[in-house]
Amino acid sequence: MTSKLIAGNWKMNGSLAANAALLQTILSGVRQPACAVAVCVPAPYLAQCQALLSETSVELGAQDVSAHEAGAYTGEVSALMLRDFGVRYAIVGHSERRQYHGETDLVVAEKAQRALATGITPIVCVGETLAQRDAGLTEEVVKRQLAAVIHLNGHCISEIVVAYEPVWAIGTGKTATPEQAQAVHAVLRAQLQAASTQAGRIRILYGGSMNAANAASLLAQPDIDGGLIGGASLKATDFLSIINAAS
């Protein structure tokens, strides 16, 4: 059985001092967890966090990666650059990237491809808006988003991580019930199983406002293999509580 993965997404938060304090507290409490743990930090802090996390059980992650290998793409960060900083995971297709930067399913698939080619595990985000859920389109939307990634990366699809993040539950304080989350995770699991004989290796995380209070009930669901944690990952006590729930 694959251990669960708890990945913190700091989003556009942090400072040199705040990062050091947060990681010091997390590392003092996490020691050798029974689950995998990662923090996905803003690009300017990769070097700092690489140094702070070296020789610890916590892995380093990035919040995005370019779909391009190199070249005239001002402001982009390539997968090879991320590897120079020991990055283990890279979030691709987060709903905020899709919404604010117009990332299409194809672009997300290309970013996943670039990460995989460099030995970085992409955390591929899929999820529906409130309007799409109310229209009964949840399954159609998430399957379409994941299908693009499978189509481009089918030969190594078992190397990805998937994160289901209902857009209506991100940063809103709303959370899918454990039953609602499990239903979508089961759909994604079936889609992955149809695409790969190694689908059992693929973790599917829940990424919609998981916190210290609801983590245990969400993580108890059979197809929820961890969490992509937003706001709670910036509070060491809450993040440690979620790690304990996954362990």
What is the per-residue pLDDT for 145? Answer: 98
Which residue among the candidates 59, 94, 110, 128 is catalytic per the annotation? 94
User: Is 165 considered catalytic here?
Assistant: yes
171 belongs to an annotated ligand binding site: yes
Residue 35 has pLDDT above 70, yes or no: yes
pLDDT value for 176: 86
Catalytic residue among 96, 103, 165, 185: 165
Is residue 208 marked as binding?
A: no
The per-residue pLDDT for range 189-217, each reduced to its tens digit, is 999 999 999 988 999 999 988 999 999 99
**101 an active-site residue?**
no
Convert the chain into a string of H (helix), E (strand) and C (coil): CCCCEEEEECCCCCCHHHHHHHHHHHHHHHCCCCCEEEEEECHHHHHHHHHHHCCCCEEEEECCCCCCCCCCCCCCCCHHHHHHCCCCEEEECCHHHHHHHCCCHHHHHHHHHHHHHCCCEEEEEECCCHHHHHCCCHHHHHHHHHHHHHHHHHHHHHHCEEEECCHHHCCCCCCCCHHHHHHHHHHHHHHHHHHCCCHHHCCEEECCCCCCCCHHHHHCCCCCCEEEECHHHHCHHHHHHHHHHHC
Answer whether residue 1 shows pLDDT above 70: no
CATH of the domain at 185: 3.20.20.70
Give the chain's domain count: 1
**Does residue 170 carry a pLDDT above 80?**
no
Domain of residue 50 covers 5-246
Is 200 part of any known ligand binding site? Answer: no
Return the pLDDT at 174.
76
Give per-residue pLDDT as tens, 171-184. Answer: 777 778 999 999 99
Quick: pLDDT tens for 127-149: 999 899 999 999 999 999 999 99
Share of the chain above pLDDT 90, in %: 90
pLDDT digits (tens, 9 = 90+) for 56-96: 999 999 999 999 999 999 999 999 999 999 999 999 999 99
231 is in an annotated binding site: yes
